[in-house]
Amino acid sequence: MKPSTTTVTPIEDTDSQAGDKLSTKLSARRATRKIKQKHRQAELKETIAHQGELARIMRSGRAVALRLESTRRLVLRVLIPALLAFGAWSTAGVQAGAAAMTGAEEDSVMWWALWALEPALIAFVAVVVLVRCRLLGVAEETTDVEDPLLTASKLMWGALGVSLVLNTVGHWPSDWEGAGGLLFHALGPIGAAATVHLIGVLLEAVGAVPVPEGKDVQEPVQESQESTPESAPETVEIDRSRLSERALEIPAGATRLAVVRCCSEPRRKTAPKPARSTDEQAERPVQKSTPSDSRKARADKGTKVPAAAKKTAETPSPRRLSDLDLAVMLEERIDSRELPESPTVKAVQGSLSVGFERAKRVLALHQERTETVLPGQLSVVDAAAEEAAA
């Protein structure tokens, strides 16, 4: 019998592979944690820098002045309507007290005119308050400004006192039970006076806030630029006016010019080469030569060129010639015996290479130019017979 054999897998290889995978996972996690931590630190630094920049801007002189101005407007928006409400409350009481003091009859002109007394007093008070608010913090506190404001304040409190007195006239209680009615009648002028006093206090508090002078938003930036060490690299400034998205922008005050195409450099004019005739091209065939080829001498150099090989003047086209020129050519050909003395139209047409109609015109012109009288066409007339016939 054959002995049984068992195969044993190496455990060390599997353990090493699992360990490598685990170490790579752990290293990847550590790298991601470091990256996330760096991102958090960068975001935190940006947030701190942003908050610090906001705090620096809010502490600047302009920001403080804007906040103070918005506070003044808030005080007036809230308390001026309250002043008008208290004035409307006390209008009826002032009219009733003034009518009781003057003895005006009901529905009379005086009785109706007394309704405008309390609105006039409240309007006077509101104007004084608004003027004080506008002058507060604008000009320095001098006697030229303080004296008129003090006088206006005294008149304002006098108007509120008149409103209080007119509200309480005729409403004095005979016992303690009527004190509540008197209080309600006096609530309008008392509330108006308290509102005016509160407006003055708040405006003085706003004006007492010191506004930092000489601290602008750009000063810390200049200090940070000056505090940079000399070894720091210089920042490169980018001219944003040359960017592509601003190419079509026209600056203020500039004039749009017409678009002109850029001209190329003028080309030098070269003299035209004379065209070779067919005879020359036939005599001198085109040969491709290389610099290495030696130039061969002509065998017929020095001999005279025959007359048949000489270049003759080209005959002009009949289309460019006039009828008179063609008639002259026709005469020359008749004289040279190329055509008979009385040629036909077809012969002229073929010789001059023209059309039939033009050949007829040329032939008629030739006959007019060379018109002769033949002997058979002459006749002898007696002079005496001619006189007798006359």
* pLDDT averages per 10-residue partition of the chain, 390 residues: 53 71 87 90 89 82 85 90 87 82 82 87 86 69 71 87 80 63 78 87 84 59 45 50 60 62 54 55 53 59 67 68 86 86 85 86 85 51 51
Contacts of 220 (CB under 8 A, 6+ apart): 56
Q: Which one-letter amino acid corresponds to residue 113?
A: A
Q: List, for residues 65-103, the tens digit of each pLDDT value.
A: 888 889 988 988 999 899 888 888 888 888 888 888 888
Inter-residue contact 319 to 312 (CB < 8 Å)? no
CA atoms 153, 155, 157, 160: torsion sign: negative
How far CA 297 is from CA of 38, 212, 276, 300, 304, in Å, comes to 91, 106, 22, 9, 17
For residues 98 and 87, what is the distance between their CA atoms, to the nearest angstrom?
A: 15
Q: What are φ and ψ of residue 295, in 5° steps?
A: -80, 125
- The pLDDT of residue 226 is 45
H helical segments located in 284-344:
323-335
Q: Name the percent of the chain in helix, strand, coil, to the closest 5.
A: 65, 0, 35
Output the pTM of the full model: 0.41
- Tell me: the pLDDT tens digits for 303-323? 776 766 666 656 677 777 888
**Rounded CA separation 356/304 (Å):** 44
Cβ neighbours of 259 (radius 10 Å): 5
CA distances to 57, 215, 216, 218, 228 from 221, in Å: 11, 12, 10, 5, 11
Place of tokens 């009648």: 185
Give the residue extent of every domain in the chain: 79-174+181-208, 321-371
